[in-house]
Amino acid sequence: MSKGYTVAIAGATGAVGADMMETLEKRNFPVRNLRLLASERSVGKKLRFKGEEIAVEELRQDSFKGIDIAIFSAGASRSKEFAKFAVKSGAVVIDNSSAFRMDDDVPLVVPEVNPEDVKRHKGIIANPNCSTIIMVVAVFPLHRAKNLRRLVAATYQAASGAGAKAMTELEEQSRKILRGECVRAEVLPQRIAFNLFPHIDVFTENGYTKEEMKMLYESRKIMHHPALKVSCTCVRVPVLRAHSEALNLEFADEITPAEAREILSRAPGVQLRDDTANKIYPMPIEASGMYDVLVGRIRQDISRDDRRGLDMFISGDQLLKGAALNAVQIAEIL
């Protein structure tokens, strides 16, 4: 038998699960045996991995015998229900949901930022929220050099962040509207075709959504920066699979756009797209299918009297770096 690991993907039939399989294959992760787990209604469905067809099994408490690494992308409730059984069976869980992200005993990891935190795991490692991952990959190198104090973000989040059904809803609504037909929002809270809306996750008492508060709490934990101030507005836009973000950054030390470009040009997981004279800047259509986060429109914040502020625009693939790729990178560290 060839060397390698027995890997399980819980939630294998979803959009992120499909990208996890593809990423494991493309990066040649040493998989000896792959188990695909999903709900009862998907049992028997066959998915291809390295030229072979693998039948989907039901996700159950006893599904994890002999599993080395279990990657979960089946939602927070499934993770809370089943992850403990995976750990009890001896697997290390990499969880893509919000279930464990803020637990003190669970590392929250972006490999370009805090790979050393993987070592602290007690059976579970959490994948951060997609918008947070894309943001910290671009922001952390600047923070390390110039000490980030405050961040104001507006996100432009793709339909994929709400799952495969939301992507289908965007496509179907677009076709219907172009044919002059009426549409109704069923998966997302509002019509998404030819529209956008500032409503991702549920609203909290302070007026922010949970998605917006994740950007604050998760960034602090990942970057080990408990004093970081973050204010965010998260917007769903009619894009299929790449998130974009407009960021305003305030640093303790002075920083120029030229310095930022130099720092980011050497940063892992980042590609500069910052040549406005030639209409080169980050766009979701270009970020889709890419591993790296695209960064551009870097400029001095002209609302300040000092040189401690920058503005920039970023785009990253929500299904890849925002989910599947980040999880596989964590598995590679393991």
Q: Which of 130, 143, 232, 234 is catalytic?
A: 130
130 given a catalytic annotation = yes
Residues 6+ apart with CB under 8 A from 49: 21, 24, 25, 31, 34
- Which fold does the domain 132-318 belong to in CATH? Dihydrodipicolinate Reductase; domain 2 (3.30.360)
Residue with token string 């503005």: 311
What is the token pair recorded at 163? 């799952």
Tens of pLDDT along the chain (334 residues) come to 357 999 999 999 988 999 999 999 999 999 999 999 999 888 989 999 999 999 999 999 999 999 999 999 999 999 999 999 999 999 999 999 999 999 999 999 999 999 999 999 999 999 999 999 999 999 999 999 999 999 999 999 999 999 999 999 999 999 999 999 999 999 999 999 999 999 999 999 999 999 999 999 999 999 999 999 999 999 999 999 999 999 999 999 999 999 999 999 999 999 999 999 999 999 999 999 999 999 999 999 999 999 999 999 999 999 999 999 999 999 999 9
Rounded to the nearest 5 percent, the helix, strand and coil shares of the chain are: 35, 25, 40
Residues of CATH 3.40.50.720 domain(s) within the chain?
5-127+324-333
Q: State whether residue 103 is helix, strand or coil.
A: coil
Could you say which of 121, 143, 234, 243 is catalytic?
A: 243
182 is catalytic: no
CATH topology of domain 5-127+324-333: Rossmann fold (3.40.50)
Domain boundaries for CATH 3.30.360.10 within the chain? 132-318
pTM: 0.94
